[in-house]
């Protein structure tokens, strides 16, 4: 599916919702709790689940790419951690995206609602994890754990989505013992990987509304930039948002 006729008011509201989602991501995180439900409400009732999920992945990928690039410039990461994590993330997300083709819209809506409630509750009550480094795992044990984290969270992101970045962060801190900033940087790159992997699956199957997705993506990135603009004169170069979703 490459195009869809939408009322101008609906299109404007979806773009505005994506802008707000980018702003929320940049301030507190949780923009995915806004963007995906907006698509569920704004797109016609007969829109296939893969088309909703695929279109949602386009603005998510753009917003997460900005965040990942910013963290990679500022936070040193261990590439021996990154490789197995993104390998698992890409594989899991591609599998999850394929599974959406088996899901009926009537089943997808309550799943998204449950995810929104659960992730929203966590976002409100989330603990301050990883403020200090613990004993991190190393060697083959670390690689297998990271591969497993990538597969598990990646499958979730390809299939449903909300909470992906937070799940990566929790597991990288709780399972791997990483400190907060390094875990956050790895989570950003892993989240970008899951978004892009799912985007390829949905794109090849023709389940992305490209015009709508690109418009929402531009709005999402601008929303993240606008939230950071008052903080420094270099915000344009560094705006990224949290893009956990």
Give 102-138 pLDDT, tens digit per residue.
988 888 878 888 877 776 676 566 555 544 445 566 6
Q: Is 34 a residue whose pLDDT tops 80?
A: yes
Helix residue ranges, H only, the chain: 8-27, 32-42, 49-74, 79-99, 105-125, 139-159, 164-174, 180-204, 210-228, 235-238
Region 180-186 average pLDDT: 88
Asked whether the beta carbons of 119 and 59 are under 8 A apart, the reply is no
Asked whether the beta carbons of 153 and 168 are under 8 A apart, the reply is yes
Q: Is 226 a residue whose pLDDT tops 80?
A: no
Nearest alpha-carbon partner for 126 in 29, 201, 203, 196: 29
More confident residue, 234 or 196: 196
The pLDDT of residue 235 is: 38
The pLDDT of residue 18 is: 94
Across 13-17, 212-216, 229-233, least confident range: 229-233
């Amino acid at each position: 599916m490459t195009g869809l006729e939408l009322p101008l008011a609906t299109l404007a509201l979806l773009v505005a919702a994506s802008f707000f989602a980018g702003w929320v991501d940049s301030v507190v995180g949780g923009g995915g709790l806004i963007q995906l439900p907006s698509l569920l409400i704004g797109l016609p009732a007969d829109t296939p689940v893969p088309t909703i999920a695929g279109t949602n992945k386009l603005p998510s990928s753009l917003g997460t790419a900005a965040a990942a690039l910013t963290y990679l410039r500022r936070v040193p990461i261990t590439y021996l951690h990154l490789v197995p994590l993104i390998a698992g993330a890409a594989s899991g997300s591609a599998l999850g995206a394929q599974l959406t083709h088996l899901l009926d819209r009537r089943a997808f809506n309550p799943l998204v609602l449950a995810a929104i409630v659960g992730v929203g509750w966590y976002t409100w009550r989330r603990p301050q994890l990883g403020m200090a480094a613990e004993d991190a795992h190393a060697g083959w044990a670390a690689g297998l754990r990271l591969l497993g984290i990538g597969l598990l969270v990646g499958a979730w992101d390809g299939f449903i989505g909300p909470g992906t970045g937070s799940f990566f962060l929790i597991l990288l801190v709780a399972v791997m013992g990483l400190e907060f900033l390094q875990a956050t940087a790895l989570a950003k790159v892993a989240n970008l990987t899951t978004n892009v992997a799912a985007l390829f699956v949905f794109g090849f199957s023709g389940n992305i509304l490209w015009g709508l997705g690109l418009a929402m993506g531009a709005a999402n990135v601008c929303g993240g930039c606008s939230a950071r603009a008052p903080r420094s004169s270099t915000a344009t170069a560094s705006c990224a948002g949290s893009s956990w979703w």
